[in-house]
Amino acid sequence: MHLKRWITGLSALPFLIYLIYLGGAAFILLVGIACVCSLWEYNRIVFSADSRMMHNAVTFWGYLISVGMLIAAFVDGPASVLALVSLNLILAGVLSVFMYRTNPAVVEVIQKQAMGVVYIPLSLSFLVAIRHGPEGMTWIFLLLAIIFAGDISAFYVGSYLGRHKLSPAISPGKTIEGALGGLAANLLAGAVGKYLFLPAVAWGPALIFFLIAGMAGQAGDLFESEMKRSSKIKDSGGLLPGHGGFLDRIDALLFASPVAYLFIVFIF
């Protein structure tokens, strides 16, 4: 299991670094693939793989609007993305009028689709906005280093030193020791990255950012675990050997990216 995690991660790392370095359309393509795959996995979780619930006009529209939101984040920024979030709900509501007679469950489909659009593409759109902004490449690499370092540290510290359960009702394997180890790694990775590549950023706000981003990442991990447990699903998918699915890999990033955007725009 551990070997598969490392092989998958190290194999994907050069492509990830290169596409982030290129930015523009290449970065949107990277985020778009992760977005669509994660949204499909999300639908699989919340609809418990019920084909009638998963495959209909409302959920199909969700994939299209998600890609549109990422492009809008690059072209025009967050304002256009928020407009598309509203447009998604409007069009989904219109579609439901024609679907309700034969499928009354379409109301539940809309609720879960709307949540998925906010949960995944809206969160990922902040990554696109960050990459397109000043020093965007540096901020993206720093954010990924913080989240990935925290994830790896939490996993291994929890595996070998974990004694006290963090939230056994949600994820029996996660421990308080693992969470603290993850936060320590968040701070260390962030501090090293800031010292080397963002020397102009003040240390006080930076350390607060590293800590809050790490906490948000752990909350994102637990939130996805909640959904999987409620649907009795172990992994969101199987596309990434040793990691599960795309959503399993980016769950922490989905909660950390809006935090990063707010700090970069309004504090730093």
Reduced to 3 states, what is the DSSP secondary structure of residue 166?
Answer: strand
> How far apart are alpha carbons 73 and 175 in whole angstroms?
36
Q: In the prediction, which pLDDT does 136 show?
A: 94
By three-state DSSP, how is residue 167 classified?
Answer: strand
- 35 has a pLDDT exceeding 60: yes
- Looking at residue 33, its pLDDT comes to 95
Determine how many CB atoms are found less than 10 A away from the CB of residue 239: 17
Question: Under DSSP, is residue 171 helix (H, G, I), strand (E, B) or coil?
Answer: strand
Mean pLDDT value of segment 102-129: 93
Is the pLDDT assigned to residue 90 strictly greater than 90? yes
**DSSP 8-state class, residue 266:** H
pLDDT band for position 237 (50/70/90)? low
DSSP at 163 = -
Label residue 146 by pLDDT band (50, 70, 90): very high
172 or 131, which is more confident? 131
User: Percent of the chain having pLDDT more than 70?
Assistant: 91
Task: Please indicate whether residue 101 or residue 242 has the higher confidence score (pLDDT).
Answer: 101
Q: Give mean pLDDT, residues 190-197.
A: 96
| Lowest mean per-residue pLDDT among 49-58, 59-68, 130-139, 157-166 | 49-58
* Predicted local distance difference test score (pLDDT) of residue 238: 60
How would DSSP label each residue in 94-160?
HHHHHHTTT-TTHHHHHHHHHHHHIIIIIHHHHHHHHHHSTTHHHHHHHHHHHHHHHHHHHHHHHHH
Cβ-contact 144, 78 below 8 angstroms: no
Whole-number average pLDDT of the chain: 90
- Quick: pLDDT tens for 1-34: 565 666 666 777 888 899 999 999 999 999 999 9
Q: Is the pLDDT of residue 199 over 60?
A: yes
> 143: which 2 tokens?
């954010």
Amino acid at 181: G
In whole angstroms, give the CA distance from residue 96 to residue 105.
Answer: 10
Global pTM reads 0.90
Q: In 10 A of CB 129, how many CB atoms?
A: 22
Residue 105 has pLDDT above 60, yes or no: yes
Q: What is residue 190's predicted lDDT score, i.e. its pLDDT?
A: 97
Q: Is 133 left (phi over 0), alpha (psi -120 to 50) or beta?
A: beta
What CA–CA distance (Å, rounded) separates 35 from 18?
A: 18
Main-chain dihedrals φ then ψ at residue 171, nearest 5 degrees: -145, 95
What is the reported pLDDT for 100? 87
